[in-house]
Chain A
Amino acid sequence: MYLAINDLTVLYDRAMVLNGVSLNVAEGELVSLVGPNGAGKSTLLRAAAGLVSWEKETLKGTTSGKITLTGSVIFEGNEMLDLPAHKIAQRGLILCPERGRPFREMTVMENLEAGAYLLKKDGKAAINEALDKVFSLFPVLKNRRNQVSGTLSGGERTMLSIARSLMSKAKLLLIDEPSVGLAPMVKKELFARISEVHGLGITILLIEQDISFAFELASRNYVLSRGKIIAEGKSEELLNDEIIRETYLGM
Chain B
Amino acid sequence: MLERILINGLVISGTYAVLAVGFSLIFGVAKIFNMAHTVLYMAASYIIFFSLNSLGIHYVFASALAILLTIIFGILCYKFLFDRVKVHETAVMIISISVAIICQELVLMTLDGSYRGVPSFIVGSKELMGVSVLYQHMFVVLGCIITLIGLWILLTKTFLGKAIRAVAQDQEIANLMGIDVSRVCLIAMGISAGLAAIAAVLSAPLEPLYPAMWLQPLILILAAVVLGGLGSIKGSVYGALILGFTETIVITVIPGGSFLRGAVSLLAMVIVLIFRPEGLFGVVFEEETL
Contacts and interface: CB of A to CB of B under 8 A. Distances in A.
B88 A114 contact: no
Contacts of A110: 156, 162, 165
B166 interface: yes
Given A103-B166, A117-B162, A61 B178 contact: no
A85 interface: yes
Given A89-B178, A105-B283, A54 B170 contact: no
Contacts of A55: 172
A154 B288 CA distance: 12
A180 B172 CA distance: 21
Contacts of B166: 103, 106, 114, 117
A168 B172 contact: no
Contact of B177 (A59, A62, A118, A180): A118
Contact of A89 (B87, B165, B170, B177): B177
Interface in A161-190: 164-165, 168, 180-181
Nearest to B173: A101
B128 to A, nearest CB: 38
Contacts of A49: 176
Contact of B178 (A60, A62, A104, A118): A118
Nearest to B169: A103
B85 interface: yes
A94 B179 CA distance: 12
A54 B178 contact: no
A63 to B, nearest CB: 10
B280 interface: no
Contacts of B222: none
A168 B173 CA distance: 14
A115 interface: yes
Given A61-B85, A61-B87, A180-B290, A86 B175 contact: yes
B207 interface: no
A115 B172 CA distance: 13
Given A59-B87, A61-B87, A62-B87, A54 B163 contact: no
A114 B177 contact: yes
Contact of A62 (B88, B173, B174, B181): B88
Contacts of B175: 50-51, 54, 84-86, 89
Interface in B79-123: 85, 87-88
Given A113-B162, A114-B163, A164 B88 contact: no
Interface in A62-88: 62, 84-87
Contacts of B3: none
Contacts of A181: 290
A114 B176 contact: no
Contact of B165 (A50, A106, A180): A106
B90 to A, nearest CB: 12
A106 B165 CA distance: 8
Interface string B150-169: 00000010010011011001
A61 B283 CA distance: 28
Contacts of B179: 86, 114, 117
Contact of A103 (B170, B178, B181): B170
A17 to B, nearest CB: 17
Contacts of A94: 176
A144 interface: no
Contact of A85 (B87, B170, B176): B176
A127 to B, nearest CB: 10
A154 B176 contact: no
Contacts of A36: none
14 contacts: A51-B176, A54-B172, A84-B175, A86-B179, A97-B176, A105-B283, A110-B162, A114-B162, A114-B165, A114-B174, A115-B177, A117-B159, A117-B162, A118-B177
Given A58-B171, A94-B176, A117-B166, 18 more contacts: A51-B176, A58-B87, A61-B85, A86-B174, A86-B177, A90-B178, A101-B173, A105-B165, A106-B162, A110-B156, A114-B174, A114-B177, A117-B163, A117-B177, A117-B179, A118-B178, A168-B177, A181-B290
